[in-house]
Amino acid sequence: MNYLTDTSNIFTRYDLNIEVAQQGARKVSGDEILQNVADFVINGDEDGIADVVKETLETKTPMEVINDGLISGMNEVSRLWDEGIYFLPQVILSSDAMNMGIAICEEKMGRSMDKKGKVVTHTAEGDIHDIGQVIVNALLNANGFEVVNLGADVPVDKVVEACRTHNPVMVTGTALMTTTMTAFPKIATQLKRLNLNIPFVCGGGAVSEEYVTGFDMGIWGKEANQAPGMAEDALGGDEWQAMRSKWNG
């Protein structure tokens, strides 16, 4: 069979045209020891970070390691992803490394570090397609939020109860199927009835903007990577109407 070598009239490989030149990570700390911690995060080295954090804790306080090493490194990872240099797996591996480092610091402190705020996440009742939620969880976690992960196939009442108990800044719902996303307006109705005015971000698969903006509190999430930005808005006090007008429409 003949295979064409000039395919320019058949398709255009835009990915080749737009590839961002590989760049090294920037320095994030003036302190060589803390920069080393940050580098383990930037390189997503979960295997090696435990030793380096333990070693650093001999000369630095846990909060210094967290803020100026682990979180600074993660911020650099976010920048690399935003600029199209890093792919999602690199972000996840960095997040894993950061979390492991934080756990060691917390052990030394004898308490958990303060998180920015809570976000309740779930995948709709009857739906077991939760990889979108897994990514949302990882990204929220990487950005300093406490994730209350309810998992997949979660009944409406359980989501509402979690919101009542945890009083999160935001709640998210993921669904692949149109026949399971029907749980979302039920959740919104119950939250409203209980006067829990929590922005409710819904997305995934066949979940459409038209559907989600058809009920109060609903904000459509097009991509998982929007979740941290949305959570920041909610944390900053934006109500669902303001968030909807910013992110949707």
Partner 1 sequence: MKLSSSMAYSSADEMMFGTAKYPVETKRGLKIGGGHVIPEIVPHPRPGSEKTIKTLLREYERANGDALERCVIVGHPYLQVENEHVFQMTHNPKWGGEIAAQTARQMDDYKEKYGLISAYRATVADLRKPDMVGMRDSDYTREVLESFEECAKYADIISIESMGGKEIFDHAIIRNDVGGLLFGQAVLGGLDMEWMWTQIVEIAKKHGCIPGGDTNCAEANTAMFMAGGFISKDVPHTLAALSRAICVSRSLVAYECGATGPSKDCAYEDPIIKSITGIPIATEGKTSACAHSDLCGNVIGAVCDLWSNEAVEYHDMFGASTTAVFTEILGYDVAAMNSSIDLGYQKEFQACLINSDRYRGPHGFMLCPDNAWEIGKAVVDNNESLYVRGKAAAVKCGELMLGDPNLKLTNFEKESLEAYMKDLEALPDKEEDFIDLSLKKYGKVKGFKPASYGL
Q: Which residues bind partner 1 (CB under 8 A)?
A: 1-5, 7, 10-11, 13-16, 18-19, 22, 81, 84, 86-90, 92-93, 96, 126-128, 130-131, 134-135, 138, 151-153, 177-182, 206, 211
Q: Is 209 helix (H, G, I), strand (E, B) or coil?
A: helix
Cβ atoms < 10 Å from Cβ of 171: 28
- Three-state DSSP at 174 gives strand
Residue 16 or 58 having the CB closest to partner 1: 16
**In the chain, what is the straight-line distance between the N-terminal and C-terminal CA atoms, in Å?**
49
Q: What is the CA radius of gyration of the chain?
A: 21
| Of 76, 95, 93, 98, the residue nearest 85 (C-alpha) | 76
Q: Residue 29 or 180: which CB sits closer to partner 1?
A: 180
Our CB check for partner 1 shows the closer of 57 and 156 to be 156
Say if residue 91 is exposed, middle or buried (CB neighbours under 10 Å; 0-12, 13-18, 19+): buried
Q: How far is the CB of 64 from partner 1 (least distance, A)?
A: 28
- Shortest spacing between CB 203 and partner 1, in angstroms: 14
The distance of closest approach from Cβ of residue 215 to partner 1 in the complex, given in angstroms and rounded to an integer, is: 12
Nearest distance, CB of residue 238 and partner 1, angstroms = 27
Nearer to partner 1, 31 or 216 (CB): 216
**Can you tell me the distance from the alpha carbon of 73 to that of 82, in angstroms, rounded to the nearest whole number?**
14
